Every structure is written in C-alpha cells, then in structure tokens.
C-alpha cells in the first residue's frame, strides 16, 4: 500500500478501534524554515555544529543527498556540501509542538504524545462528526497545516503498532490506511525490520531461519519463534499477525527531560567541564519550566575520550526545576566521577531529570542554591522568550565550550 492510498467509496469497513498515528515531517528542520523564510526549499540540516555533532533533523531536500538523523555532522557535510546547518532551537520546537497538540486535542479527547513531533489519537468517539477515520486523518492534516504551517503524515489503523507503521510508510505528506479486514495483506510483504523490536541483529537471526518478511514470521509457529528468540519470539509472532492490544493513553507523562552534547574537542580542564555542565543544566531547567514540570531525580551521563560511558543519578526528597539546583546535584555527581577517573578527557556530557511532576517545584533550597535564584530564572525565561535564547545567560558560561 503506497502513501496516500484510500479505501474506495462503498468499501468503508467497520472500525471498532480506529487509531491515528500523527507524525510531523522533518519537524525541527520544518520549524527552522518557517521561522526563517530564506531556508524554505533549502537542504536544512539541524545539528550540533561541532566536529563531533550529530544530525538531529534534516529537510527532505537534504535527505535527497542521503543525510539522515543521528548521522555524524562530518559525514552530512560530505554528502551535502550545500547544506544549511542550523543549531537546534528547542524552545521554538516546544512552542510549535504545543500548538500542534492543541489541534490534536480538538479532534480527540484521547491523545497520547510520544515526543514533540508525534502522537497517537484514539478517534472512536469522533464517528458522530466524521464519516470515517480516513476522513479524520485528512482533516487533521489540513488543520495542522493551516494553523501551524507544518506538514503531517498520518497512519490510520485498528491498533497502535499498525498505525505507527502506516504513518512511516505515509511519509512525506501522506495518509496510509490499514483496512481492518486486510491487515494480513498489508503486513505480509513488508521486511521483518518493520516489526517493533527487530534490529539488525534480530533481523540477521530471522534471515538465517529463512524469515525475511513479516508474512514469513506470521507463518512460522509461535512455539518455534519462542524457542529460538525466547519471550521476544512470542511478541514478534503477535505483531506479525497484526495483534497489539495496547490502549491509547491520554496525557501520558514524559518520563524524563534531558540534554546532552558531544564536544568538538575533548574537555580536559576541570573548569571547562564544569562550565559545560552548567550550560546543560540551564538547558534542561529551561525545558522543564517551559513544559510546566519539575523533577526529583537528576542523572548524569559522561562519555570519556576512549568512548567508555558512565551514568550516575541522585534522587532528592523534593522537586527542582532550576539550573543552579540541577547543576549542584550534577556537579556533585561529576566531582565524584572525576575523582574515580582522574586525568581522563570527556567527550560527551548529558543531564536528565526524571520522577517528574507538575510545576511549580518545591521551594526547598539545595546547599548550592541561593534565595532568589528561582525568581531570577523566571525572569531569564521571560527575557529569552522576547529576545531569544542567547539574549541572557549565566556569566560563568561566557567561556563555556
């Protein structure tokens, strides 16, 4: 079934559990083009601009050159010399995501966001307004484009697995409908890699068994798959048959909010590393406050120059959403780590906050904080919203990498 396929008139099936998976096309790159008209139609590549950065998003003009998300920037530059490389602007992406979510909410009361650019919608209760789920998908695409300027691809199916798979096949700018009566026909010719949980290693194992398509997996004995792959085999057998009983969960809370950065040159000086950590803490705190949430667990990720990676975390008795508070906890974790690994260079740092709850955070102060910092950071947020992210920041970050 190709992107844009529709169920012919007169053949509309009975939809007992219609689910949409809505996915914004090249979201970050599209937002950049909306905010800067000079980028429209250009091969836009959103990425960390250091020599070790990776691509976060690429416009379809850039994808024609083979540029893909998670690709090293150095390789993207080789593939697309004319590419326009842009630093990520997460506050702008969050603002657009909120506007898109408002559109989703106008179509269904049961919306489950998966990330800033995708969500499931349960549209079982919309049948009184719309004749069928495919019509809802078309209307959703039109509304998102009209109200936000963004392009949406939508999968329509009887369950979450099929809907997400359909939206992937719908890209770019399409709708793919999985007829509930023709699930087997839809799945059978697709490669096994389309099944959730099948990575390169599992695909290789299945290929050795002669199972190269989803139809092959569906035809195999569930007991045989379980014997070969353990519990994962039973899971794949169910998906290959088009079975997925998970419900769309409204307002599913994010598990964590974080940020990380890979540096163009390894960080070796303690002051340099601390400044980089404060920069990340500021970024995470700003994202927390922009989403109206705070958290109790601060986690630190460190990747050394030899690519070994370590994680440390600490759970507090209260919630925080301030850069100084997050930096204080992460700094203690980092100091302990650097004591354990003296003289080692740092290639990547990351901070995340989990155990989230609704903002505002607790008024309790960490030992590293000073009274008044909370109000100061709210003022910082207001200035950034008006004048941009680089308009104001911490003085200690002036020399940060």
Which residues carry out catalysis? 118
Question: What are the E-state strand segments in 26-101?
Answer: 44-47, 55-58, 84-86
Closest among 325, 258, 329 to 291, alpha carbons compared: 258
Radius of gyration of the chain from its Cα atoms, rounded to whole angstroms: 23
Distance CA 98, CA 320 (A): 23
List Cα–Cα distances, 190 to 149, 187, 235, 393, in angstroms: 32, 6, 17, 50
* CA atoms within 13 Å, Cβ hemisphere of 189: 5
Buried b (16+ CB within 10 A) or exposed e, 148-181: bebbbbbbbbbbbbbbbbbbebbbeebbbbbbbe
Length of the chain: 401
Centre a 10 Å sphere on the Cβ of residue 96 and count the other Cβ atoms it contains.
22
Helix (H) or strand (E) holding 246: none
Is the Cα torsion angle 154, 156, 161, 166 positive or negative in sign? negative
Q: Alpha helix (H) ranges present in 126-245?
A: 133-148, 160-170, 183-187, 200-208, 214-219, 222-229, 231-240
């Amino acid at each position: 079934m190709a992107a844009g396929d529709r169920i012919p008139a007169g053949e509309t099936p009975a939809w007992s559990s219609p689910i949409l998976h809505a996915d914004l096309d090249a979201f970050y790159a599209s937002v950049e083009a909306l905010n800067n008209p000079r980028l429209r139609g250009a091969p836009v590549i959103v990425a960390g601009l250091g020599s070790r950065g990776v691509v976060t998003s690429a416009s379809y003009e850039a994808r024609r050159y083979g540029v893909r998300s998670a690709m090293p920037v150095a390789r993207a530059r080789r593939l697309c010399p004319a590419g326009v490389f842009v630093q990520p602007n997460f506050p702008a992406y969050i603002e657009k995501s909120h506007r898109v979510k408002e559109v989703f909410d106008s179509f269904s009361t049961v919306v489950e966001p998966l990330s800033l650019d995708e969500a499931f919608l349960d549209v079982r209760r919309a049948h009184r307004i719309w004749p069928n789920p495919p019509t809802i998908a078309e209307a959703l695409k039109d509304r998102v484009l009209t109200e936000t300027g963004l392009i949406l691809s939508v999968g329509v199916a009887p369950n979450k697995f099929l809907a997400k798979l359909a939206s992937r096949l719908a890209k770019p700018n399409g709708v793919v409908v999985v007829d509930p009566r023709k699930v087997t026909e839809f799945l059978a010719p697709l490669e096994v890699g389309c099944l959730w949980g099948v990575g390169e290693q599992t695909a290789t194992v299945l290929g050795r068994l002669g199972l190269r398509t989803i139809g092959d997996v569906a035809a195999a004995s569930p007991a045989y798959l379980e014997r070969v792959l353990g519990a994962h085999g039973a899971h794949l057998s169910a998906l290959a048959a088009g079975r997925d009983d998970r419900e769309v969960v409204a307002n599913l809370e994010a598990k964590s909010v974080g940020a990380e950065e890979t540096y163009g040159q390894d960080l070796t000086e303690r002051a340099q590393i601390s400044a980089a950590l404060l920069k990340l803490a500021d970024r995470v705190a700003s994202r927390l406050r922009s989403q109206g949430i705070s958290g109790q667990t601060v986690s630190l990720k460190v990747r050394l120059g030899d690519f070994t990676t370590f994680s440390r975390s600490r759970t507090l008795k209260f919630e925080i959403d301030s850069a100084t508070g997050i930096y204080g906890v992460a700094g203690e974790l980092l100091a302990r780590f650097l004591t354990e690994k003296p003289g080692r260079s740092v290639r990547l740092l990351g901070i995340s906050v989990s155990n989230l709850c609704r903002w505002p955070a607790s008024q309790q102060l960490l030992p590293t904080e000073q009274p008044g910092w909370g109000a100061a950071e709210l003022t910082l947020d207001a200035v950034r919203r008006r004048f941009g992210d680089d308009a104001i920041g911490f003085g200690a970050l002036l020399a940060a990498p």
